[in-house]
Structure 1
Amino acid sequence: MRAVQVVGYGRNLEMTDVAAPAVVEPYDVIVKIGGAGVCRTDIHILEGQWAEKSGVTLPYTIGHENAGWVHATGSAVTNVAEGDKVIVHPLMTCGLCRACRSGDDVHCTQSRFPGIDTAGGYAEYLRTSARSVVKLDDSLEPADVAALADAGLTAYHATAKAARTLRPGDRCVVIGAGGLGHIGIQALKAMTAAEIVVVDRNADAVKLALSIGADHGIVAEGGHVEEVLELTDGNGAEVVVDFVGEGGSTRDGVRMLRRAGDYHVVGYGENIDIPTIDVISTEINLIGNLVGSYNDLCELMVLAARGLVKLHTTKYPLDRFQDALDDLEAGRIRGRAILTP
Structure 2
Amino acid sequence: MKAVRIHEYRTPPSLDEIPQPDLHGHHDVIVRIGGAGVCRTDLHVVDGWFENIMRPERPFTLGHENAGWVEAVGDAVTSVHVGDPVIVHPLATCGVCGACRQGEDMYCTASTFPGVTVDGGYAEYLCTSERSLVLLPPGVEPAQVAPHADAGITAYRAVRKVSEVLQPGQTAVVIGVGGLGHIGLQLLSEMTPARIVAVDKSQLGRDLASKVGAEAIFGTEDAIDGVAELTGGLGADVVIDFVAEHDTPDRALRMLRQGGTYSIVGYGADLHIPTVEMVLKEITVLGNLVGNYADLDGLMKLVVNGRVQLETRDYPLDAAAQALDDLENGRIQGRAVLTPA
With the shorter chain as reference, the TM-score category is over 0.9
Q: 1:286: which partner in 2?
A: 285
* Residue 274 of structure 1 pairs with residue 273 of structure 2: yes
Q: Which residue of 2 aligns with 1:165?
A: 165
Listed as ranges, the matches of 1:1-341 within 5 Å are 1-220=1-220, 222-341=221-340
Give 3-state SS (helix, strand or coil) of 1:240's partner.
strand
Aligned mates of 1:12, 1:218 — CA distance in 2: 34
CA distance in 2, matches of 1:195, 1:139: 33
Instruction: Give 1:326's aligned amino acid.
Output: D
Distance in structure 2 (CA, Å) of the matches to 1:83 and 1:207: 38
8 A Cα contact 1:207 1:217, kept in partner: no
Q: Distance in 2 between matches of 1:138 and 1:264?
A: 35
Q: Distance in 2 between matches of 1:230 and 1:247?
A: 25
Which whole-Å CA distance do the structure 1 matches of 2:19 and 2:38 have between them?
23
- The answer as to whether partners of 1:197 and 1:216 remain within 8 angstroms in 2 is yes
Is residue 61–residue 120 contact of structure 1 (8 Å, CA) maintained in 2? yes
Alignment RMSD: 0.8
Deviation at 1:106, TM superposition (A): 1.2
**Amino acid across the alignment from 2:327:** L
Amino acid in the other structure paired with 1:37: G
Quote how far apart the aligned CAs of 1:233 are.
Answer: 0.9
Deviations 1:235-278 (A, max 9, x none): 11111100000121100111111111111000011101111110
Structure 2 spans left out of the alignment, 5+ residues: none
**3-state SS of the aligned residue for 1:127?**
strand
Q: In structure 1, what residue type is equivalent to 2:283?
A: I
Alignment-mate amino acid for residue 307 of structure 1: G
Give the C-alpha shift of residue 309 in structure 1. Answer: 0.8
Preserved contact between residue 27 and residue 130 of structure 1 (Cα < 8 Å): yes
The one-letter code sitting in structure 2 at the alignment partner of 1:131 is: R
Please, which moves more after superposition, 100-109 or 120-129? 100-109
- SS of 1:161's partner is helix
Sequence identity (%): 52
CA distance in 2, matches of 1:114, 1:275: 38
Whether the 8 Å CA contact 1:139–1:305 is kept in 2: the answer is no
- Aligned partner of 2:55: which letter? G
TM-score (norm 1): 0.98
Distance, in Å, in 2 between the alignment partners of 1:185 and 1:140 is: 22
Of the structure 1 ranges 102-111 and 203-212, higher mean CA displacement relative to structure 2 is found in 203-212
Offset, 1:94 = 0.8
Residue pair 1:259, 1:284 contacting (<8 A) in 2 also: yes
| Displacement after TM superposition at 1:207 (Å) | 2.1
Aligned residues, how many?
340
Unaligned 5+ residue runs, structure 1?
none
Task: Assess if the C-alpha contact under 8 Å between 1:7 and 1:60 holds in 2.
Answer: yes
Q: What TM-score results when the alignment is normalised by the length of structure 2?
A: 0.98
Q: List 4+ stretches of structure 1 deviating above 2 A.
A: none
C-alpha separation between the residues in 2 aligned to 1:137 and 1:210? 29
> Using the alignment, how far apart are the partners of 1:202 and 1:209 within structure 2?
11
Deviation at 1:330, TM superposition (A): 1.0
CA distance in 1: counterparts of 2:46 and 2:270, whole angstroms: 21
1:192 CA drift (Å): 1.2
1:55-94 Cα deviation digits (max 9, x unpaired):
1011111111000000011111111111000000000011
Question: Deviations for 1:204-243, whole angstroms, at most 9, x for unmatched residues?
Answer: 31121122121111122x2320111111111111111000
AA in 2 matched with 1:188:
L
Cα offset for 1:139?
3.2
